[in-house]
């Protein structure tokens, strides 16, 4: 993708004015509180995260509800590759259910702590997670499931793409169609911005006050409470 279009995409998202924050107003009762309670003991969250990762991705775990991860012989969008399922919560009645908003941030978190998720327990979890890129159905973005439809909720549609961009940054050689996915996602979002009325010449901000956006048909979902702002602006940071 031409870098010029990335800049255009960025500018089209920045439609909300920014205001300087006033200084914090001191509250007498709050000022009496200590900055740090005593005694104080911070949990070792790095240790917790590493133990969580090694536990939920260990395919050899046995016991009630275990293992949490399950391998599948072929993906939906990349049938030439294996895929996997990870329980969204313990004790689910859908053992092979799978959500990108659970799987992909777990890959990001472990990677930030130094775990190589491309070669853990003999599996390439990164390659298998690319099945969340909905290529087979023509959505051509990451969605919460491997065979999903966009347009239900901004949050569920935006976050998997943010997590993919984080993984793309953490692993320069992500493999498979990662490069194609990286540029295709940006192209799809630029197309959506323009379909929402955004333009660089003449300048025109896009109208995003929708519940969600249907990327396959480039149409809005105007039902329910709008929620575009946070997800899209975080997504901009990834671009």
**Cα 100 to Cα 85: distance, rounded to the nearest angstrom:** 10
> 167: closest CA among 191, 203, 133?
133
Contacts of 220 (CB under 8 A, 6+ apart): 196, 210, 211, 212, 213, 214
Low-confidence ranges of the chain (pLDDT < 50): 1, 3-19, 230-231, 234-235, 237-239
What pLDDT does 122 receive?
Answer: 96
Contact 105, 170 (CB under 8 A): no
Angle at 213 (CA atoms; ends 105, 203), nearest 5 degrees: 105
**Rounded Cα gap, residues 211 and 192, in angstroms:** 14
- Residue 236: predicted pLDDT: 52
Task: Return the pLDDT at 96.
Answer: 64
- pTM of the prediction? 0.81
180-219 b/e with 16+ CB inside 10 Å = b? ebbebbbebbbebbbbbebeeeeeebbebebbbbbbbeee
Give the pLDDT confidence of 83-135 residue by residue, as tens digits: 999 989 888 877 667 999 999 999 999 999 999 999 999 999 999 999 999 99
Mean pLDDT of all residues belonging to the chain:
87
- Model pLDDT, residue 237: 41
């Amino acid at each position: 993708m031409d870098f010029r279009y990335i800049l255009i995409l960025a500018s089209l998202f920045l439609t909300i004015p920014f205001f300087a924050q006033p200084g914090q107003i001191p509250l007498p009762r709050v000022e009496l509180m200590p900055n740090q309670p005593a005694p104080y003991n911070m949990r070792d969250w790095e240790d917790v995260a590493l133990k969580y990762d090694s536990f939920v991705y260990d395919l050899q775990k046995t016991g009630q509800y275990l293992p949490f991860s399950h391998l599948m012989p072929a993906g939906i969008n990349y049938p030439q590759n294996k895929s996997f399922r990870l329980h969204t919560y313990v004790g689910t009645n859908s053992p092979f259910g799978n959500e990108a908003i659970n799987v992909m941030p777990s890959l990001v978190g472990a990677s930030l702590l130094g775990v190589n998720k491309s070669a853990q327990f003999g599996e390439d979890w990164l390659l298998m997670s690319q099945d969340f890129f909905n290529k087979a159905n023509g959505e051509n973005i990451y969605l919460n499931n491997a065979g999903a439809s966009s347009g239900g909720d901004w949050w569920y549609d935006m976050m998997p793409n943010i997590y993919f961009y984080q993984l793309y940054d953490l692993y320069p050689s992500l493999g498979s169609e990662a490069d194609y996915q990286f540029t295709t996602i940006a192209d799809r979002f630029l197309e959506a911005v323009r379909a929402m009325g955004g333009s660089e010449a003449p300048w025109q901000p896009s109208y995003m006050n929708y519940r969600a956006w249907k990327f396959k048909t480039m149409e809005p979902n105007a039902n329910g409470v709008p929620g575009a702002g946070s997800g899209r602006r975080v997504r901009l940071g990834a671009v």
